[in-house]
Amino acid sequence: MAAPIILDHPLIQHNISLLRDKNTGSKDFRELVSEIAMLMCYEATRDLPLKEVEIETPVAVARTNVISGLKLAFVPILRAGLGMVEGMLALVPAAKVGHIGMYRDPETFEPHEYYCKLPADIAKREVIVLDPMLATGGSAIDAITQLKKRGVTQIKFLCIIAAPEGLDALTAAHPDVQIYAAAKDECLNDHKYIVPGLGDAGDRIFGTK
């Protein structure tokens, strides 16, 4: 079981401060989520396997590395995960993208799946699941369970803000999944919102409130 990795690079921390500000509007919020995802992607792909190849330069033959191993797929959890896709694809444009739709019941806080469309070869890919918010962990746990049912064996989970409760729950449910977060916040409130958090990520990205 690997401990969650907190990606607290200064550029990421600065952008998260702007993201948390209740006065940041949807346009800026979307751009910040995308930029943070791109910075996180750089770190989350640090362990991609390499293989040595020979390349002829104009001067000599170089022994040099290229990426090997499984190809990547990104799977955003709808809706808010959609905001992270563009930033991820900026670094890995050849990745395929699947979608899992989840909403959290406002009364019970239980996640409900309403959509799932994945690349046909998903089981042969390393999958990075995307959601800006890890609160109770229910949505992430169910999305990852769906991926495992379809044969996926290598999974990472990338979120921007995580509650300690969500980190514990996701680690317990899927100890093989490496979690990357950009900030570990204090706790959840009575409505299971992350404190201090940034509010409802989906509403802020899409301007629905």
Name which of ligand PRP, ligand URA, none residue 32 binds, using a CB cut-off of 5 to 8 Å depending on partner kind: none
What residues line the site for ligand URA (CB under 6 A)? 80, 133, 135, 193-194, 197, 200-202
Whether 121 is catalytic is: no
**201 contacts ligand PRP (rule: CB under 6 A):** yes
98 binds ligand PRP (CB under 6 A): no
Residue 122: count other Cβ atoms within 10 Å of its Cβ. Answer: 16
Q: Is 118 in the site for ligand PRP (CB under 6 A)?
A: no
CA angle in degrees (0–180, nearest 5) for 181-12-122: 45
Query: In the chain, what are the helix, strand and coil shares in percent, each to the nearest 5?
Result: 35, 30, 35
Beta carbons within 8 Å of 90's beta carbon, 6+ residues apart: 34, 38, 41
Whether 203 is catalytic = yes
Please identify which of the residues 64, 105, 108, 121 carries the catalytic annotation: 108
136 binds ligand PRP per the rule CB under 6 A: yes
User: What number of other Cβ atoms are within 10 A of residue 204's Cβ?
Assistant: 24
Nearer to ligand URA, 4 or 137 (CB): 137
Burial tier of 117 (Cβ tally within 10 Å: 0-12, 13-18, 19+)? exposed
Residues tagged active-site: 104, 108, 200, 203
Contacting positions for ligand PRP (CB under 6 A) = 77-80, 102-104, 109, 111, 131, 133-140, 166, 192, 200-202
